[in-house]
């Protein structure tokens, strides 16, 4: 009988304990969604956990024991426990510190997977280094295989992380050599002087010493003024061909002691026609840089009477002509075509409004003059500034003052290109005495033609 009571008592106590366990034991839930794996030297953050007691959140009462050292590979136990009266709930989390980082392969010639090599260039297959976060230098552990033009580098670290890199070697040369002309692509040389080619430098991505292989096509006749194109051609060892062209301008010198009368801004009835009359009577040729103004007949007269008809732009409007390369040339060709249609003469001589040294153009485009002085030459025009300013647009309005200004600057030892404006009555009225002075003092008069060297001022914009 006693034994039955003892067994019954044990059973009752067990049942009471089990009931108490289910009713009074708190529960802890661990969020293991990150698999409890941490990278070597990574940051350990306690993963999430929750504790409940009778439906109430008692997470804040959970005690945590254990330390995770991410600087050492291994498995670390972290214990979460909560006590509630007689009952204590305990769960253990195992945090694994593993090396998850792949070794890194670097190449001394960059990271490109595709390598462009010259036809005869050798590829250094051993130009790599390997660094691993755990094993450190793994350079010696790399397996290199080469098949056709593909080199494969493979390496694995002590934790089984592996890296494979492929390099595709492309051995050809499709790049052209570069010919750089010494001096400029437009050069001037004087009539009957020896022309010496300023030379060139050839560079190439694969070949050296290509300078000797340059062929020059074209000839320069130094006994005849004109524009002579010379073409420089070179091929590299893979057959890539480059050509550049230099224009050689054979020109006459502007003569010291000669007076070049130049008239801008016209034509204009009432002034230009009188100026033409005077020039005819004096037997003198001059240069007119014309615009779109004035009657056609005056341009026809200028041309027929043997003067040079140059181009000054059609509108003479700074805001148009200096707003850009295209608008300059559009405007220039308007006046060019006017002259061409009236006279059949393809004028190639230019004077910039304000001269090439003007700074007003800065207002419309920074650097426009520097661009234009090159561009007009490329398009086979020549521009002519002046060496003597008559002052007729610089404050002088009296013909006597203009006369005095001009003759005071004349010199037998210098180039005398005189800036005047044939739209001014006082310039018209000063002309006769300027010519008279010139003649009496041993000067001769000539027109500017495209056979003459350009007269250029310093460019400030
Ligand atoms: Zn002008």
CATH at 407: 3.20.20.370
**Which one of 218, 251, 284 terminates a domain?**
251
Using the mean position of ligand 1's atoms as its centre, give its distance from the Cα of residue 420 in Å.
9
Residue 47 binned pLDDT confidence (cut-offs 50, 70, 90): confident
* Cα dihedral sign, 199-202-208-214: negative
Using the mean position of ligand 1's atoms as its centre, give its distance from the Cα of residue 419 in Å.
9
Q: Whole-model pTM? A: 0.69
Q: What pLDDT score was predicted for residue 185?
A: 93
Lowest-confidence region among 29-38, 66-75, 288-297, 384-393: 29-38
Using the mean position of ligand 1's atoms as its centre, give its distance from the Cα of residue 264 in Å.
5
Q: Which of 26, 43, 40, 156 minimizes the C-alpha distance to 103? A: 156
Using the mean position of ligand 1's atoms as its centre, give its distance from the Cα of residue 304 in Å.
23
- Is pLDDT at 220 greater than 90 in this prediction? yes
Residue 192 binned pLDDT confidence (cut-offs 50, 70, 90): very high
Residues 436 and 327 in one domain: yes
Give the rounded percent of residues in the chain with a pLDDT score beyond 70.
Answer: 100
Using the mean position of ligand 1's atoms as its centre, give its distance from the Cα of residue 442 in Å.
29
Asked if residue 458 is part of any domain, the answer here is no
Residues 427 and 300 in one domain: yes
Q: What pLDDT score was predicted for residue 301?
A: 98
For residues 298 and 74, give the distance between their C-alpha atoms in angstroms, rounded to a whole number.
102
Residues 264 and 158 in one domain: no
- Is pLDDT at 394 greater than 90 in this prediction? yes
Using the mean position of ligand 1's atoms as its centre, give its distance from the Cα of residue 394 in Å.
12
Q: What pLDDT score was predicted for residue 35?
A: 80
Using the mean position of ligand 1's atoms as its centre, give its distance from the Cα of residue 265 in Å.
5
Q: What pLDDT score was predicted for residue 88?
A: 85
Residues 332 and 214 in one domain: no
- Is pLDDT at 461 greater than 80 in this prediction? yes
Using the mean position of ligand 1's atoms as its centre, give its distance from the Cα of residue 460 in Å.
18
Q: Write out the two tokens for 136.
A: 């450190």
Residues 216 and 143 in one domain: no
Residues 195 and 166 in one domain: no
Q: What pLDDT score was predicted for residue 276?
A: 98
Using the mean position of ligand 1's atoms as its centre, give its distance from the Cα of residue 148 in Å.
70
Using the mean position of ligand 1's atoms as its centre, give its distance from the Cα of residue 457 in Å.
15
Using the mean position of ligand 1's atoms as its centre, give its distance from the Cα of residue 311 in Å.
10
Give the rounded percent of residues in the chain with a pLDDT score beyond 90.
Answer: 84
Asked if residue 206 is part of any domain, the answer here is yes
**Which one of 51, 81, 98 terminates a domain?**
98
Lowest-confidence region among 52-61, 169-178, 259-268: 52-61
pLDDT in tens, 130-148: 999 999 999 999 999 999 9
Residues 148 and 202 in one domain: no
Using the mean position of ligand 1's atoms as its centre, give its distance from the Cα of residue 429 in Å.
19
Using the mean position of ligand 1's atoms as its centre, give its distance from the Cα of residue 274 in Å.
19
Give the position of tokens 């075509």.
Answer: 337
Using the mean position of ligand 1's atoms as its centre, give its distance from the Cα of residue 312 in Å.
7
Residues 151 and 217 in one domain: no
Q: What pLDDT score was predicted for residue 407?
A: 97
Using the mean position of ligand 1's atoms as its centre, give its distance from the Cα of residue 180 in Å.
37
Using the mean position of ligand 1's atoms as its centre, give its distance from the Cα of residue 301 in Å.
20
Lowest-confidence region among 50-59, 93-102, 350-359: 50-59
Using the mean position of ligand 1's atoms as its centre, give its distance from the Cα of residue 413 in Å.
27
Using the mean position of ligand 1's atoms as its centre, give its distance from the Cα of residue 182 in Å.
35
Asked if residue 457 is part of any domain, the answer here is no
Using the mean position of ligand 1's atoms as its centre, give its distance from the Cα of residue 393 in Å.
9
For residues 271 and 429, give the distance between their C-alpha atoms in angstroms, rounded to a whole number.
9
Higher pLDDT, 32 or 333: 333
Residues 352 and 411 in one domain: yes
- Domain with 332, as residue range(s), is 258-445
| 142 Cβ contact list (under 8 Å, min separation 6) | 105, 128, 130, 153, 154, 155
pLDDT in tens, 61-116: 999 999 999 999 999 999 999 987 777 889 999 999 999 999 999 999 888 789 88
Residues 226 and 310 in one domain: no
Contact assessment for residue 61 and residue 2, using Cβ atoms and an 8 Å cutoff: no
Q: How many Cβ atoms are within 10 Å of 38's Cβ, its own excluded?
A: 20
For 183, 224, 249, 252, 450, the CA distances from 228, given in Å and listed in that order, are: 16, 10, 6, 15, 14
pLDDT, mean over the chain: 94
Residues 342 and 422 in one domain: yes
**Which one of 251, 268, 284 terminates a domain?**
251
Contact assessment for residue 426 and residue 405, using Cβ atoms and an 8 Å cutoff: no
Residues 187 and 217 in one domain: yes
Q: What pLDDT score was predicted for residue 31?
A: 84
Mean per-residue pLDDT for 155-181? 95
Mean per-residue pLDDT for 349-376? 97
Domain count, the chain: 4
Using the mean position of ligand 1's atoms as its centre, give its distance from the Cα of residue 141 in Å.
79
Using the mean position of ligand 1's atoms as its centre, give its distance from the Cα of residue 305 in Å.
22
Q: What pLDDT score was predicted for residue 300?
A: 98
Asked if residue 450 is part of any domain, the answer here is no
Asked if residue 455 is part of any domain, the answer here is no
Using the mean position of ligand 1's atoms as its centre, give its distance from the Cα of residue 428 in Å.
16
Give the position of tokens 């106590």.
Answer: 13
Asked if residue 451 is part of any domain, the answer here is no
Q: How many Cβ atoms are within 10 Å of 174's Cβ, its own excluded?
A: 10
Asked if residue 292 is part of any domain, the answer here is yes
Residue 1 binned pLDDT confidence (cut-offs 50, 70, 90): low
Using the mean position of ligand 1's atoms as its centre, give its distance from the Cα of residue 453 in Å.
21
Asked if residue 264 is part of any domain, the answer here is yes
Using the mean position of ligand 1's atoms as its centre, give its distance from the Cα of residue 354 in Å.
6
Using the mean position of ligand 1's atoms as its centre, give its distance from the Cα of residue 337 in Å.
19
Using the mean position of ligand 1's atoms as its centre, give its distance from the Cα of residue 320 in Å.
14
Residue 201 belongs to domain with CATH number: 2.60.40.10
């Amino acid at each position: 009988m006693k034994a039955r009571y003892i067994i019954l008592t044990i059973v009752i106590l067990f049942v009471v304990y089990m009931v108490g366990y289910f009713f009074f034991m708190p529960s802890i839930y661990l969020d293991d969604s990150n698999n409890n794996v941490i990278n070597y030297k990574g940051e350990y953050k306690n993963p999430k956990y929750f504790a409940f007691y009778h439906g109430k959140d008692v997470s804040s009462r959970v005690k945590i024991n254990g330390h995770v050292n991410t600087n050492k590979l291994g498995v670390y136990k972290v214990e979460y426990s909560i006590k509630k009266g007689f009952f204590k709930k305990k769960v253990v989390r195992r945090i694994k510190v593993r090396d998850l980082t792949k070794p890194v392969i670097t190449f001394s010639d960059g990271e490109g997977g595709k390598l462009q090599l010259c036809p005869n260039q050798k590829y250094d297959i051993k130009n790599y280094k390997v660094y691993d976060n755990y094993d450190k230098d793994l350079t010696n552990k790399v397996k290199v295989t080469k098949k056709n033009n593909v080199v494969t580098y493979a390496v694995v670290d002590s934790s089984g992380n592996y890296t494979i890199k492929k390099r595709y070697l492309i051995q050809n040369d499709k790049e052209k050599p570069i010919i750089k002309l010494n001096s400029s692509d437009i050069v001037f040389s004087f009539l009957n002087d020896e022309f010496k080619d300023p030379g060139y430098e050839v560079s190439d991505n694969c070949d050296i010493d290509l300078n000797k292989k340059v062929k020059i096509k074209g000839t320069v006749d130094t006994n005849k003024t004109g524009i002579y194109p010379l073409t420089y051609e070179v091929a590299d060892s893979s057959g890539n061909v480059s050509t550049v062209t230099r224009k050689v301008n054979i020109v006459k010198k502007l003569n010291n002691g000669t007076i070049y009368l130049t008239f801008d801004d016209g034509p204009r009835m009432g002034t230009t026609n009188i100026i033409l009359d005077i020039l005819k009577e004096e037997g003198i040729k001059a240069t007119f840089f014309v615009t779109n103004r004035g009657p056609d007949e005056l341009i026809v007269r200028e041309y027929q009477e043997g003067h040079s008809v140059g181009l000054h732009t059609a509108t003479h409007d700074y805001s148009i002509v200096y707003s850009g390369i295209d608008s300059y040339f559009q405007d220039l060709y308007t006046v060019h075509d006017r002259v061409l249609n009236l006279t059949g003469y393809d004028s190639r001589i230019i004077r910039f409004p304000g001269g090439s040294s003007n700074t007003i153009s800065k207002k419309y485009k920074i650097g426009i003059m520097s661009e234009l002085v090159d561009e007009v030459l490329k398009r086979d025009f020549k521009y002519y500034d002046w060496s003597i300013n008559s002052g007729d647009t610089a404050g002088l309005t009296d013909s006597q003052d203009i006369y005095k200004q001009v003759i005071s600057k004349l010199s037998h030892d210098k180039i005398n290109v005189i800036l005047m404006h044939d739209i001014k009555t006082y310039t018209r009225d000063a002309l006769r005495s300027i010519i008279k002075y010139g003649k009496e003092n041993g000067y001769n008069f000539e027109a500017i033609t495209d056979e003459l060297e350009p007269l250029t001022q310093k460019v400030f914009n």
